[in-house]
Amino acid sequence: MIFNYLKIGFKILYRQRGYSLLNIIGLSLGIAVFVFIYLYVQSEFRYDRHWKDDDRIYRISTEYNINDQRELVALTPFILSNSINSHLEGVESVTKIFFSDPSDVNDMSTLIYNDIVYEVPDITLGDSNVFRIFNFDFIEGNAYSALEKPNSIVISSDVAAMIFGEESALGKKIKTHIREYTVTGVFEKKGKPTHLFFDAIVSVNSLNEERLGAMTHDWFWMSCYTYVKLKENIDGGNFEYDLNEYTNAQIQNFIEQSEVSIRGVTKFSLESIKDVHFNTSLLYDNPENVDKLYLLVFGIIAAFILLTASINYVNLATARSLKRAKEIGVFKVLGAIKRQLAFQYISESLILTTLAFIIALSLVEILMPQFNILVDKNLTLVGSLFSSDGIVFGLLLIFLIFTLSIISGYFPVFVLAYLQPANVLKGNRILISKHGETRFTTAGLRKFLVTTQYIVAISMIISTVIIYQQMMFLKSYDLGFNSKNVMVINLPQDTAFRDRANDFFEDITNNDDVLMSAVAGNIPGYTTGRMMYYVNDSNNIKTLSVFLVGSNFFKLLEIPLMEGSFFVERPNDDSSLVYIVNKAALDTLGERNLVGKNLIGSTGTSGEVIGVVRDFQFSSLYNGINPLVIMFSDTRTRYLLLKLKDGCQQDIMKHINGVWNKYNRTQYLHYTYLDDKLASLYKGDYKMLSLFIYFSIFVIFIASLGLYGLSSFLIEQRTKELGIRKVLGGSAKSILLLLAKDYLKLVLIAGVIASPIVYFLMSRWLNTFAISTQLNVWIFIFSIALVLLIALLTVYIRARKVIKERPSRSINFE
Amino acid sequence: MIITNGLTKVFKSEGVETLALKEVSLKVNQGDFIAIMGPSGCGKTTLLNLLGLIDEPTAGKYFYFGQDVYTLSERQKTELRKQNIGFVFQNFNLIDDLTVYENIELPLIYLGWKKKARNERVAEVINNMELDHRQKLFPMQLSGGQQQRVAVARAIVAKPPLLLADEPTGNLDSLHGEEVMSILGRLNNEGTTIIMVTHSQSDAAYSRKIVHLFDGQIINENIIKGS
Ligand SMILES: Nc1ncnc2c1ncn2[C@@H]1O[C@H](COP(=O)(O)OP(=O)(O)O)[C@@H](O)[C@H]1O
Ligand SMILES: [Mg+2]
């Protein structure tokens, strides 16, 4: 019986393959996009959701306001965790993990085993409680004691596999360029997405007090992430209150004891470990954190794409079945035959829907690598299906298949039920009574659906244009220095290299393509540290960003001097401090003129300011230009900057590799172009741009398909009327407009509704930048006009035949 | 006014060929009132479709005031049709969504008349057809006879020299049929050329000439009244 229905269904679908194809394509694209977004959003919500007792784990962040400079940072002072441990109630354990710059992807750490050098993306330091709070699975070693002893290192299973292969890692000795460590544990990182980004962690007591220095007791030196796990039934809010009460007293003490006077308020806040990934407001935080608002927007987009694809599918199916019903004269059939018909239609839909799902999931599987590149993730369809929440996903898919099949199969039969001779189906409404008083109306619903789908489409397109414009704006923005053709080479930190560094510099610059070179400890685009300075009045101490650079730095980057002079090379025994400041620092310190004056640091260091440079954008454009003090140093350097001749990128590498290998047998060469590094600051935004471009295309395509379906419906219903109008002299244009008019109106309404929504969301996004383009009204008008045009074209494509053919096709003297 | 030369129409559907019209040559003078009669399926409607430029013949020529109309483009034919030909159908073919007034106004809109001129002309026709009280109603709220009066009003609103009518009384009772026929007679007296298909002898009595069609061919032409 059912087999029979399916057989006939296949036959009919094959006969109408053009239509079947269109319908399947629309639905499967919609499902595919939905699945992609679903997997993406789901993956973001998996961050830090797997820790044991995660509702008791908090990260502590710091808000400080020192002499009227306010900052929100994810870091805390070193001393915080110790204080909590010894002075506060309600804590099960507390731990600190050192800051290491997660944005500095090129700054790989190295581990040496058996004289072979391995690179590890991120090695940090932590105290012995790290693995008490974060219950990573340990493949080897004991999580609780792994970081207790000095010179212990715990590595991820990936690192272990890279260095030791199949061998056991436990107890093995590995070196960095500074000291030797014993592997005390191997943890599994896979399957537990987290904002913690380390691949290896070293026990913090490997460093002695002396090396840590003032950091251990300075309440204003932010150096570590602090996490607490509270005891059961301890309220986070109360704990936060107690914490601040205690630390306020401590900080007051610290200020009184220090030489400089600081008017400061520091507030520590607890945030649930589950929320950390969604916090984008803090400095020195993981750059992979995402704003929940964007995920919400993505989720809404996904839901609407699926909804519109489904609606379109039903509409198209209905238009088709109605046409067929007319052909076979179903208008007069009743009762049992109608039920049979319903079964037939539903089996056809079931075939189509199932096919669409198979195609959609295949598409997802095939395009997954590309999508992963796009969103910088490692998603798998199978992985999602067989995960803990995969059952929900699977059930959702099955539910969709059946709902869609039944609705799209049954709806036409339902409509036909109203098509008794007395009732006339007209356009998109069904007139039940002869006098037009009682109306069964689906027009409102349809209008609502079309409008919603165009609200999404227009929003996507306007947003895409705005994002594009902003990215172009950032690209063309004058940063105040010239980053063109500047290569940045990461310098090894070991003494073996240090001793020969000058020879290395000489060799490497000895090439016609190298126009200039400079060394630096900091360069624009990388995270910088901050310190506090004052000029005369220690009451007026301010936080300034700090750069360490060698001579030539300003000339190479073409940063102009406003006053005073640049750094010059000095004899090795001259260790006096000299500073150059930027214009913003002048303003912050409230000084007209600084050249010749001394700048005094909170630790008591003092040096002369010899010059002022024009402001340059040394951080990303999310921030404005902060006050900056630049210290001279040609020894404490991490980077070598080379200004290269235009167009020599290919040839120069041979030279650089050659020189590098001569000097560094145990280090890999890491280099980047400054332009690339600067562009990478906006990686997330570029990612969003490409996602939006793709989504826009999908959404407008699906919406057009829907409009195509609706036009079909309309044309099926109004064939006779169109014929009459043509006979009466209606031109092709007037008939196209007649068909499209209502839809164009809806698109316009959608545009009017979409605009303020987009304005709100995009303003919010643009506000994350210190500089941004204006939201120009023309972007809105242009986008809406574009969508109107596409809508008109869509109706035209569907109506073309009807419009152009002779009126006898649809009407004659019968 | 109209000269056709060997008009032939063959329908092809699903491999079957139907010869609907076979070399029909007809001459219509200005002011004529011609009734086309013949059994069902003999090609009357097909002929009217061809004369009304609604369809194209398989062979043959059609001159309208000397103009060889089948050489025109679809757009030019639409232009010619809306200026020159009015249509009355057996099943009225009114647009359900539009009111009586709007239905009648439609041809003038397509002709690009100004609003004021349209208002005046539609009012005049509505008055003529005694539809004054019904102009705001929808077609479905009218009786058959009233609907056909609306259709005739629409057909003549643009004052076309030629009126084509396919069984205009076919769906009406005799009283209403009579009413419509007398309107057509009056129009003819006022100078409109009319070609009408009918089964009814009494309707045919309003015409000046009867053309008998059989199996797609003209078998004879009777002149009833001197013209
Ligand atoms: N669109 C069409 N397709 C196929 N055959 C048609 C079509 N229209 C009319 N015919 C055939 O042409 C012949 C003449 O039809 P028609 O002109 O409608 O006759 P009448 O109006 O005299 O009853 C009939 O045999 C009819 O079946
Ligand atoms: Mg007929």
The whole-angstrom separation of Cα A333 and Cα A416 is: 10
pLDDT tens for A205-231 read 888 777 677 788 888 888 899 999 999
pLDDT of residue A104: 46
pLDDT tens for A383-407 read 777 776 778 888 888 888 888 888 7
The whole-angstrom separation of Cα A44 and Cα A36 is: 13
| A406 sits in which H/E element | helix A390-417
pLDDT of A431 above 50 = no
pLDDT of residue A426: 40
Least CB-CB distance to B56: which of A726, A730, A806? A806
Residue B124: CB atoms within 10 Å: 12
pLDDT of residue A466: 94
What are the CA-CA distances from residue B25 to residues A343, B5, B7, B47, B70 (Å)? 54, 5, 6, 11, 15
The residue among A801 and A37 whose pLDDT is bigger is A37
pLDDT band at A267 (very low <50, low <70, confident <90, very high): very high
The whole-angstrom separation of Cα A375 and Cα A286 is: 16
- Suggest the residue from A425, A428, A727, A801 to mutate for an interface test with chain B (most B CBs closer than 10 A): A727
pLDDT of residue A417: 59
pLDDT of residue A809: 56
pLDDT of residue A444: 64
pLDDT of B12 above 70 = yes
The verdict on a CB contact (< 8 Å) between B90 and A813 is yes
Q: Is B46 in the pocket of ligand 1 (CB under 6 A)?
A: yes
Domain boundaries, chain A: 1-47+292-418, 54-273, 486-680
pLDDT of B162 above 90 = yes
- Ligand 1: residue of B46, B50, B217 to mutate (most ligand atoms within 8 A of CB) is B46
pLDDT of residue A164: 93
pLDDT tens for A682-721 read 888 888 899 899 989 988 988 888 888 778 777 877 778 8
pLDDT of residue A437: 34
pLDDT tens for A442-467 read 556 667 778 888 998 999 999 999 99
Q: Name the residue of chain B whose CA is nearest to A437's CA.
A: B141
B 168-187 residues inside an 8 A Cβ radius of A:
none
- Suggest the residue from A432, A438, A726, A728 to mutate for an interface test with chain B (most B CBs closer than 10 A): A728
Least CB-CB distance to B49: which of A721, A731, A812? A812
SS3 label, residue A111: strand
User: In terms of DSSP bridges, do strands B85-88 and B162-166 run parallel, antiparallel, or are they unpaired?
Assistant: parallel
SS3 label, residue A513: coil
pLDDT of residue A359: 93
B 90-109 residues inside an 8 A Cβ radius of A:
90-91, 93-97, 106-107
Return the bridge partners of A72, or none: A63
pLDDT of residue A438: 33
What is the percent of chain B with per-residue pLDDT over 90, rounded to a whole number?
38
The verdict on a CB contact (< 8 Å) between B74 and A724 is no
What is the percent of chain B with per-residue pLDDT over 70, rounded to a whole number?
99
User: Nearest bound ligand to CA B21?
Assistant: 1
Handedness of CA A238, A240, A242, A245 (dihedral sign): negative
pLDDT of A102 above 60 = no
Residues of A in CB contact (< 8 Å) with B are: 424, 426-427, 431, 434-436, 720-721, 724-732, 734, 804, 806-808, 811-814
- The region that residue A239 occupies, defined by phi over 0 for left and psi between -120 and 50 for alpha, beta otherwise, is alpha
pLDDT of A591 above 90 = no
Q: What is the mean pLDDT of chain A?
A: 84
Mean pLDDT within B216-221? 87
pLDDT of A812 above 70 = no
Hey, what's the torsion of the CAs at A68, A74, A78, A79, to 10 degrees? 70
Mean pLDDT within B70-95? 88
User: In terms of DSSP bridges, do strands B209-214 and B217-223 run parallel, antiparallel, or are they unpaired?
Assistant: antiparallel
User: Nearest bound ligand to CA B51?
Assistant: 1
pLDDT of A525 above 90 = no
pLDDT band at B225 (very low <50, low <70, confident <90, very high): low
- Residue B54: list chain A partners with CB under 8 A: 727, 806-808, 811-813
Pair of tokens at residue A399:
């539910």
Residue-by-residue DSSP string for A293-354 = HHHHHHHHHHHHHHHHHHHHHHHHHHHHHHHHHHHTTGGG--HHHHHHHHHHHHHHHHHHHH
Return the bridge partners of A123, or none: A200
pLDDT of residue A501: 86
Q: Name the residue of chain B whose CA is nearest to A810's CA.
A: B54
pLDDT band at A479 (very low <50, low <70, confident <90, very high): very high
pLDDT of residue A722: 86
Mean pLDDT within A514-536? 87
pLDDT band at A422 (very low <50, low <70, confident <90, very high): very low
pLDDT of residue A16: 72
Mean pLDDT within A783-808? 87
User: In terms of DSSP bridges, do strands A577-582 and A628-632 run parallel, antiparallel, or are they unpaired?
Assistant: antiparallel
Q: Is B73 in the pocket of ligand 1 (CB under 6 A)?
A: no
The whole-angstrom separation of Cα B65 and Cα A813 is: 23
pLDDT of A142 above 90 = yes
pLDDT band at A196 (very low <50, low <70, confident <90, very high): very high
The whole-angstrom separation of Cα A736 and Cα A794 is: 11
pLDDT of B21 above 70 = yes
pLDDT of A61 above 90 = yes
pLDDT of residue A480: 92
Least CB-CB distance to B49: which of A728, A732, A813? A813
pLDDT of residue A433: 36
pLDDT of A25 above 80 = yes
- Ligand 1: residue of B18, B42, B58, B212 to mutate (most ligand atoms within 8 A of CB) is B18
Mean pLDDT within B70-90? 88
pLDDT of A177 above 80 = no
Q: Is B148 in the pocket of ligand 1 (CB under 6 A)?
A: no
pLDDT of A813 above 60 = no
Q: Whose CA is nearest to atom 24 of ligand 1?
A: B41
Pair of tokens at residue B131:
């539809």
**C-alpha distance across the termini of chain A, in Å:** 41
Mean pLDDT within A670-691? 88
Mean pLDDT within A304-311? 81
Q: Name the residue of chain A whose CA is nearest to B50's CA.
A: A808
pLDDT tens for A224-240 read 999 999 999 999 999 99
Domains of chain B: 2-223 (3.40.50.300)
In Å, how far from its chain's centre is CA A783? Answer: 25
pLDDT of residue A107: 52
Return the bridge partners of A487, or none: A642, A673
Of A601, A581, A600, residue with least CA distance to A592: A581
pLDDT tens for B98-120 read 899 999 999 999 999 999 999 99
Of A360, A291, A306, residue with least CA distance to A688: A291
Return the bridge partners of A156, or none: A187
Amino acid present at A226:
T
Spell out the residues 6+ positions from residue A774 whose beta carbon is closer than 8 angstroms to its own: none
Write the ipTM.
0.91
pLDDT of A814 above 50 = no
| A749 sits in which H/E element | helix A732-766
Q: How far, in Å, from the CA of B29 to the mean position of ligand 1?
A: 27
Pair of tokens at residue A243:
């914490």
The residue among A411 and A158 whose pLDDT is bigger is A158
The residue among B61 and A305 whose pLDDT is bigger is B61
Residue-by-residue DSSP string for A205-240 = GGS-HHHHGGGGT-TT-EEEEEEEEEPTT--HHHHH
Spell out the residues 6+ positions from residue A138 whose beta carbon is closer than 8 angstroms to its own: A131, A146, A185, A186, A187, A188
SS3 label, residue B3: strand
pLDDT of residue B157: 92
- Residue A812: list chain B partners with CB under 8 A: 45, 49, 54-55
pLDDT of residue A146: 93
- Residue/partner pairs of A755-762 with CB below 8 Å, 24 or more apart: A755/A458, A755/A462, A755/A780, A755/A784, A757/A455, A757/A459, A758/A458, A758/A459, A758/A462, A758/A463, A758/A466, A761/A293, A761/A297, A761/A463, A762/A462, A762/A463, A762/A466, A762/A467
pLDDT of A55 above 50 = yes
Hey, what's the torsion of the CAs at A472, A474, A478, A482, to 10 degrees? -90
Q: How far, in Å, from the CA of A569 to the mean position of ligand 1?
A: 103
